[in-house]
Amino acid sequence: MTQADTTGHAAGAGATDQAGHVRSNLPFLTLGAIGVVYGDIGTSPIYAFRQAMAVRPGAAATNIEVLGLLSLIVWALTLTVAVKYVFFVTRADNKGEGGTLSLMALARKTFTNPPVWITALGVLGAALFFGDAIITPAVSVLSAVEGVELVQPGMTRWVVPITLVLILGVFAVQRFGTARVSIVFGPVTSIWFLTLGVAGVAQIIQHPEVLWALNPLLGVQFLATHFGIAFVVIGAIFLAVTGAEALYVDLGHFGRKPIVLAWFGLVFPCLLLNYFGQGAFVISHGVENVSSPFFEMIPEWGLLPFVILATMATIIASQAVITGTFSLTQQAIALNMLPRMVVQHTSAMQSGQIYMPQINTMLMIGVLVLVVTFGSSAALSNAYGIAVSGVMIVTLSLLVVVMWRNWKWHPLAVILFGAVYLLIDGGFFAANAAKLFQGGWVPAVVAIAVALVMWSWMAGRKRLAEKTRRDEVPLQFLVDNLAKKKPNTVPGTAIFLTSDVEGAPTALLHSLKHYKVLHEQNVILTVRTSTSPRVPDDEKVTIDAYNELFFRVIVTFGFMEEPNIPKALALARKLGWKFDIMSTSFFLSRRSLKLGQKSGPLRFWQDRIFIRLARNASDATEYFHIPTGRVVEIGTQVVI
């Protein structure tokens, strides 16, 4: 979920795939995928191999040890990214969309009554993504700016200030949208990958024996002979595959084919060449003489432009994570997993171009604090990995459900696949969890806090709905009584919003109590969110008539869609309802929540969190794009 919508929903003639991407635009979609999907994993060579070498104790490393570390990186990229994500995960699309919440919705579709643990996995995956979102911009930009230390050693003290300025700039421009800037993402990142490949080839030519690292037994041998530090090494190796989740998250923006072509056509070969090049450089110079092989293997004349290019690449990687967080939050709100927040659309052409000021501010503060607190990418790398590896386990867990229930795989095949990748992903998670007290607690704390907020919101909504249902009057009963004793009517249409399809809206009851009149047309409107990312226009609105006074209208939006009620109701004209916004009044209930008696400390604090979230939720009028001049709000107090 990133700014990929800028290029992802291209227009033009020609056949389209399931997600609506025009096949004739395949080269442009592939170029866009290079810039957006692979921005994060493309910056991993800056620090991944360096950290892997740094965790090995001793002043010198043998060639076999260097080859062993390289072999681990090569096969981590191959098994985790090329096989798991490219061949399998990207096939688990929810009508063209990907990501943890899309996968959760896809898995839930196969159950009549979805088990709670599937929803819990979705909450956990989304929360872990937030934990990763504050780490990626900090470690990426810091690692690139640190390259100036090689250009000018006296610049060391300026690394953190420069990083802070760059990060402030990145977050400051979010409100203007990324449509124009993202046009250059693909070309710049393509140049970046080509530069990585060329830099690696220059070193491989001098020491071609480094290609022996393709042998997976060298990696196994390294772990066997360094058993005492195996977990630490695996944690460092994992840095090479961070960003793999973007292949799935951005599936709906580009489609599977461009993502696969970009990976095998450019990204994967260039990453491997660069890692091999770093290994060759270390072999030729000795590990004790190399502190940052990524930058040191670049000729002195090209170092400054290379640092500038690396900084641009890390900014692009940060941009993808930031806008991805906006999109994930929007999905969570649509699925009622988070309270409504302000969503500003920065493009009139692309619905995916959004800006969320509250999320932007929270992310910015978190990233700035991390940069100041840790001060270097080496220190911050200890905090990197727990969240990403956790998301991978969540994705795997939901994927095996889809394989079993959607794809109808044989249970033994599902178990075998799950066992193999649970061993790999579980090993990565355990290795990163070992760094919990060296900085790994940061994303863990963020993820726990977000999960607590999401779970409290969902639990609070459920309790509020149950209490409201107990206190309200059945709608059918009210309609029947009003049909027998018809009150005075006034011209126009009244639309009463309610989440309960059976109960009479509180706003309707209060309106009758105080005004003692009805409109000529009274619409009980319920907005639902589908488990599909988008709902076709001809399926968005359903209308049922109780009598000549009352109508039931249900509007269904996909969880990736903007919930615009006036536009949806305009579609109802095709069903025979002549909807006129200028003769319509929208009646909303504004609940004032009060804390009731305590029922245990956990429930008490969960209710307090829910009430605080509800009070700070954005206005329903703005969220559903209802004209403010047509809204009547009726207050009511509810004790929970």
pLDDT band, very low/low/confident/very high, at 422 (cuts 50, 70, 90): very high
Average pLDDT, the chain: 84
d(CA 511, CA 412): 60
pLDDT higher than 90, residue 214 = yes
**Highest mean pLDDT pick, 42-46, 95-99, 419-423:** 419-423
pLDDT of amino acid 15: 46
Give the pLDDT score at 397.
95
d(CA 480, CA 550): 10
d(CA 53, CA 56): 6
Max CA separation in the chain (angstroms): 95
Task: Please state the rounded mean pLDDT for residues 349-369.
Answer: 82
State the pLDDT at residue 8.
36
Distance between CA 497 and CA 524 in Å, rounded? 6
Q: b/e per residue, 6-32, with b = 16+ CB within 10 A?
A: bbbbbeeeeeebebebbeebbebbbbb
Determine the average pLDDT of the residues in 582-599: 78
What Cα–Cα distance (Å) separates residue 362 from each residue in 134, 375, 446, 468?
9, 20, 11, 33
Confidence grade of residue 503 (pLDDT, cut at 50, 70, 90): confident
- Nearest CA-CA partner of 248 in 131, 363, 358, 402: 402
266-292 average pLDDT score? 90
CB contact at 8 A, 481 and 518:
no
Is the model more confident about 210 or about 287?
210
Contact 353, 362 (CB under 8 A): no
Which of 194-208, 231-245, 598-612 is predicted least confidently?
598-612
Distance of alpha carbon 135 from alpha carbon 52, whole angstroms = 19
CA angle 632, 636, 637 (to 5 degrees): 155
Helices 300-334 and 159-172, interaxial angle, to 10°?
40
pTM of the model: 0.81
Helix (H) or strand (E) holding 397: helix 386-405
pLDDT at 425 over 90: yes
Q: With 80 as the cut, is the pLDDT of residue 57 above it?
A: no
- Element housing 138 (H / E): helix 136-145
Q: What confidence score (pLDDT) does residue 263 get?
A: 95
- 311-356, pLDDT tens digit by residue? 888 888 888 788 888 888 888 888 889 998 887 776 555 555 678 8
pLDDT at residue 114 tops 90:
no
Encoding tokens for residue 350? 């692309």
Q: Are strands 517-530 and 550-558 parallel, antiparallel or unpaired?
A: parallel
Please tell me the predicted confidence (pLDDT) of residue 69: 92
3-state secondary structure of 55: coil
Q: What does the pLDDT average to over 250-264?
A: 86
Which range has the worst mean pLDDT, 61-65, 211-215, 272-276, 633-637? 633-637
Residue 272's pLDDT band (cuts 50, 70, 90): very high
pLDDT, residue 220, reads 92
More confident residue, 345 or 498: 498
pLDDT (average), residues 445-467: 88
CA 257/CA 86 separation, integer angstroms: 10
Q: For residue 549, what is the DSSP state?
A: S
Q: Residue 60: pLDDT band by 50, 70, 90 thresholds?
A: low
Residue bearing tokens 């090479």:
240
Task: Report pLDDT digits (tens) over 389-418.
Answer: 999 999 999 999 999 999 999 999 999 999
Query: H or E element: which one contains 344?
Result: strand 344-345
What does the pLDDT read at residue 410? Answer: 94
Q: Residue 359 pLDDT > 60, yes or no?
A: yes
pLDDT band per the 50, 70, 90 thresholds, residue 517:
confident
Question: CB under 8 Å to 287, separation ≥6 — which residues?
Answer: 53, 56, 60, 61, 66
